[in-house]
Amino acid sequence: MRGRLNLFQVAMLRWREFHPYNAVHVVELAPPLDLARLKQAIAGHLTAQGLTGFTFDVAGRRFEYRGGPAQPDLTVLPLAVDPGAALDAEMARQLNQPFPADGAFDPFRFFVLPTASTFHLGLAYDHFVAGGDSIVVLLKGIVARYAGTPSSGPPPDIHPRGYARLFLRNALAFGLGLFSLPAMIRRARRAVRPRYPYGDAGENAFVWLPVPAAAQATIARTARAWGVTQNDLLVAILLAAVAPEITGRSPRQRRHEIAIASVFNLRQEVAAAPALAFGQFLSSFLVSHPMPPGVALREVAADIQAQTQRIKRRKLYLQMLSAIALGGLAWRTMRAHQQKLLYAKSFPVWAGITMLNVDKLWREAPGEAPLLHYRRAVSTGPFSPLVVSPTPVAGRLQIGISYRTAAFRPDDVTRIGAALLACVESLQPDLP
């Protein structure tokens, strides 16, 4: 087989042993809905991109797109009176619906949700096959073909390289980073472990937050005024929203900090031709804060910025890949119940954040198609009970929250979402 999984993809395989590890993207299209033309657009674009005939060898960690005619899996949902609730429910269902473990199967599932004025095209996929950036480009191509303006650019690299080249090019940084592993372990040991009071099931639920139209501009101005990145500001906001839910913390206890995992995209460092590579090129890193009562959001954001700057400058996100490799060795010696608890014990994060600039990706992708609205949902997996997916779309910020039902009830997530929106609305970037 032609493609070999990288380290992060292999970790996703371990996660999906217990529960599906999927992701879902949904794009809104203007009417009318022509199902026959939509099916032709999906099949035609998948075939043109070479994304058919997928075969996977889970034991050998290799995959191949062998080509051939596309027969897309397309589900048409009933006309939605309340499209928001219907989309939340369908996205959650798709997160929890497994793909085959290996062999020949289609790693992409499509669905259509018609409304009174528009319709939504959704794509659920086995997350190890692609990152969100590749999926945005794929959907843009399908929508452009449906609109009659298909792209004529070069086909993607559908069997990209693994991470060997990344480690060779960064051998010094990787070697020096190994000396920082003890510090990472100490930071993890200061973090409060996530709790799963409602069992150990991996089921995911999903909600979409109604973010105000001005939120994206406010976050951008605040980040510039405070001298932090937008992602660091959003991590600080997420910490402030999650902190009230974590009771019983005390600075006198060893575990008193709250940790957040931030997903990091390695596409530019791994792929030989980043714009043409179709696949998944991820790592992640951990940041944490004690979140004492009354702490100012600006102070938290500055501390998070200092942590992430150090991580990026020294390329300490490579530590996570080495930790994944070591975890894979330990995984083979563990029993199932130990495997389920591995991440909660050794990588104790309460939430993950995965930001994706759909605006930029859509604009730069081949083809011509308007971008009306876009939603994303990402599985939590065993490493985090909650994942937040901020997505800039058409000048607005869209935010989805996936959560494990074993960790949170809907009322808990409603409070977290409300606290998150309250933080955004309280931002005053023009004040010193």
Beta 396-404 vs 204-209: how paired, if at all? antiparallel
Spatial separation of the C-alpha atoms in residues 33 and 44, rounded to whole Å:
17
Spatial separation of the C-alpha atoms in residues 180 and 169, rounded to whole Å:
19
Note down pLDDT in tens along the chain; length 432 residues: 689 999 999 999 999 999 999 999 999 998 889 999 999 999 999 999 999 999 999 999 999 999 999 999 999 999 888 889 999 999 999 999 999 999 999 999 999 999 888 999 999 999 999 999 999 999 999 999 999 988 777 889 999 988 888 888 887 877 777 777 777 778 888 999 999 999 989 999 999 999 999 999 999 999 999 999 999 999 999 999 999 999 888 888 889 999 999 999 999 888 878 888 999 999 999 999 999 999 999 999 999 999 999 999 988 888 788 778 877 888 888 888 888 777 778 889 999 999 999 999 999 998 899 898 999 999 998 889 999 999 999 889 999 999 999 999 999 999 999 999 999 999 987 765
pLDDT at 432: 57
List C-alpha distances in Å: 287 to 216, 224, 301, 362.
23, 21, 11, 29
Q: In angstroms, what is the C-alpha Rg of the chain?
A: 21
pLDDT at 215: 94
E-only strand ranges, 21-168: 22-29, 54-57, 62-65, 73-76, 103-104, 108-114, 119-126
Rounded to 5 degrees, what angle do the CA atoms 9, 10, 12 make? 65
pLDDT at 1: 62
List C-alpha distances in Å: 195 to 34, 101, 134, 349.
47, 29, 33, 10
301-318: b or e for each residue (b if 16 or more CB lie within 10 Å)? bebbbebbeebeeebbbb
Half-sphere exposure of 45 (CA within 13 A, CB side): 25
pLDDT at 431: 60
The residue behind tokens 């999984």 is 5
All structural domains of the chain, each given as residue ranges with its CATH number in brackets, are 3-146 (3.30.559.10), 164-357+371-426 (3.30.559.30)
SS3 label, residue 234: helix
Q: Each residue of 11-69: pLDDT tens digit? A: 999 999 999 999 999 999 988 899 999 999 999 999 999 999 999 999 999 999 999 99
